[in-house]
C-alpha cells in the first residue's frame, strides 16, 4: 500500500510540473526567445534564507526546518524531528530595498498529522520620487514621494509518506501595493490619481526523496503557480519556477567522523518563467556541528556573482539555536547581505 501511494504521488508530480509550465509560451525552449519582463511580483522569487543563499541559492533538496521549506520546497519540513522550528530573516537588497521574512513550523503529536507551517514576507521598497509628464520646460512635474510595499503570507503542510518519501504544499496570498499614482491632468489642470494595488492566491508544491544511498537526497518543487493578473492592459503572471535539486554530505563517502566533519554539496537546476535556465551549485562545511562555512554560485546571471556564508549553531538539551549570514556580490551594485536567526524546540 505504501509503495502504491508513493507511485501515485510521483505520477501526480510528473503531471503537475508540465501543467504548471503550460503557462509558459510554446516557444520557451527557443534560445532566441527573450523571456525577460514576463512576470511581476518578483519579490516572490528572491532568496531570503541566508543559509541557502550562502550556498548559491541551491536549497531545493535540503530537508531542514521551516525557513528552507516554506521559501523553497514545502516537502523539506516533513522530516523535522522537534516540535517547533522558527526563524526570522532579513535581506538588505540592492537600491536600499529591505526584505523581512519569518517562518514557523509545528509538529503536533510527533508528526502523526504531518507538519504545519506559516510564513510571512514583507518588502519595503523605500521612498521613490514621483513625476508625471507635463508640457513645461522640464517636461515633467513632481508629484511627491511614494513608498511601494509588498507582502506574502503562506500556510504550508508536509507529510512523510515513508521514511524516504515526503510531499508538501504551500498556499499563500501575495499582495503588492504600488500606492496611488498620478496618471493625468483633468480639465482644470488638477492631477488625476489611480490606486495600483493588487493581490492573488498562489501555490507551491514539492516532493523530497531520500534515495537510501548514504545521505543523497533528491527533490522537486513548483513555486508561484497562480492565475494571471492585470494592472492596465497587459496581463502578467507571477514568477513561476520549476526546480530540481540534489544534495549529499560527501563526508559519508569517507571514514571521517560525521560528528566532527560534514561537507554537504547541493546542486539545483532552475527553470524560471522569465529568465534563462540556471544551475545553482553550493557547498557547506560544518565543523563539530557548530561552525559552518558556505560558498556557492549561480549561472547564468545578469549581475549576481559569488555567494559566501557563515553560520553558528548549537544545541542545549532540546533547545537549538542557529545564526546565519550570507554575502553576495552584484557587480555594479552594492553587495547583498542576508541575516537569519533560527530556534528549534
3-state class of 10 per DSSP?
helix
Confidence of residue 37 (pLDDT cuts 50, 70, 90): low
Q: Give yes or no for residue 203 having a pLDDT over 60.
A: yes
Does residue 187 belong to any structural domain of this protein?
Answer: no
Does residue 280 belong to any structural domain of this protein?
Answer: yes
Q: For position 23, what pLDDT does the model report? A: 46
Confidence of residue 34 (pLDDT cuts 50, 70, 90): low
Cβ atoms of 332 and 303 closer than 8 Å: yes
Does residue 136 belong to any structural domain of this protein?
Answer: no
Q: Give yes or no for residue 32 having a pLDDT over 90.
A: no
Q: What is the CATH number of the domain that holds 118?
A: 2.40.160
**Residues spanned by the domain of 173:** 2-22+41-126+147-177+197-226+241-344
Does residue 34 belong to any structural domain of this protein?
Answer: no
Does residue 134 belong to any structural domain of this protein?
Answer: no
Q: What average pLDDT does the chain have?
A: 88
3-state class of 169 per DSSP?
strand
Does residue 83 belong to any structural domain of this protein?
Answer: yes
Does residue 183 belong to any structural domain of this protein?
Answer: no
Q: Give yes or no for residue 19 having a pLDDT over 70.
A: no
Place of cell 516533513: 78
Which neighbouring-strand residues pair with 144? 130
3-state class of 222 per DSSP?
strand
Does residue 273 belong to any structural domain of this protein?
Answer: yes
**Region 296-324 average pLDDT:** 95
Terminal CA-CA length for the chain: 33
CA distance 249 to 214: 8
Q: For position 24, what pLDDT does the model report? A: 44
Tens of pLDDT, residue by residue over 98-150, are 999 999 999 999 999 999 999 999 999 999 888 888 888 888 888 888 899 99
Helix (H) or strand (E) holding 1: none
Helix (H) or strand (E) holding 155: strand 149-160
The tally of domains found in the chain comes to: 1
Amino acid at each position: 500500500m505504501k509503495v502504491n501511494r508513493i507511485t501515485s504521488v510521483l505520477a501526480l508530480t510528473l503531471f503537475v510540473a508540465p501543467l504548471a509550465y503550460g503557462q509558459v509560451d510554446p516557444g520557451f525552449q527557443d534560445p532566441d526567445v527573450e523571456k525577460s519582463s514576463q512576470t511581476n511580483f518578483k519579490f516572490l522569487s528572491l532568496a531570503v534564507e541566508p543559509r541557502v543563499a550562502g550556498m548559491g541559492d541551491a536549497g531545493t533538496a535540503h530537508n531542514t526546518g521551516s525557513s528552507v521549506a516554506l521559501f523553497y520546497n514545502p516537502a523539506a519540513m516533513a522530516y523535522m524531528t522537534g516540535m517547533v522550528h522558527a526563524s526570522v530573516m532579513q535581506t538588505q537588497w540592492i537600491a536600499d530595498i529591505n526584505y523581512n521574512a519569518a517562518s514557523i513550523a509545528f509538529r503536533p503529536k510527533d508528526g502523526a498529522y504531518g507538519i504545519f507551517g506559516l510564513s510571512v514576507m514583507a518588502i519595503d521598497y523605500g521612498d521613490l520620487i514621483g513625476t508625471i509628464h507635463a508640457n513645461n520646460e522640464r517636461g515633467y512635474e513632481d508629484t511627491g514621494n511614494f513608498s511601494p510595499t509588498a507582502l506574502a503570507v503562506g500556510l504550508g503542510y508536509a507529510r512523510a509518506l515513508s521514511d524516504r518519501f515526503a510531499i508538501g504544499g504551500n498556499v499563500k496570498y501575495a499582495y503588492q501595493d504600488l500606492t496611488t499614482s498620478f496618471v493625468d491632468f483633468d480639465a482644470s489642470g488638477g492631477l488625476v490619481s489611480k490606486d495600483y494595488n493588487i493581490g492573488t492566491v498562489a501555490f507551491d508544491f514539492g516532493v523530497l526523496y531520500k534515495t537510501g544511498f548514504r545521505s543523497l537526497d533528491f527533490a522537486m518543487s513548483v513555486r508561484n503557480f497562480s492565475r494571471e493578473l492585470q494592472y492596465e492592459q497587459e496581463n502578467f503572471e507571477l514568477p513561476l519556477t520549476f526546480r530540481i535539486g540534489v544534495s549529499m554530505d560527501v563526508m559519508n563517502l569517507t571514514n571521517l567522523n560525521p560528528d566532527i566533519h560534514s561537507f554537504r554539496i547541493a546542486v539545483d537546476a532552475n527553470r524560471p518563467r522569465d529568465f534563462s535556465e540556471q544551475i545553482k551549485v553550493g557547498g557547506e562545511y560544518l565543523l563539530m556541528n557548530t561552525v559552518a562555512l558556505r560558498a556557492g554560485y549561480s549561472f547564468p546571471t545578469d549581475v549576481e556573482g559569488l555567494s559566501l556564508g557563515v553560520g553558528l549553531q548549537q544545541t542545549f538539551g532540546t533547545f537549538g539555536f542557529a545564526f546565519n549570514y550570507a554575502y553576495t556580490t552584484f557587480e555594479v551594485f552594492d553587495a547583498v547581505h542576508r541575516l537569519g536567526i533560527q530556534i528549534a524546540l
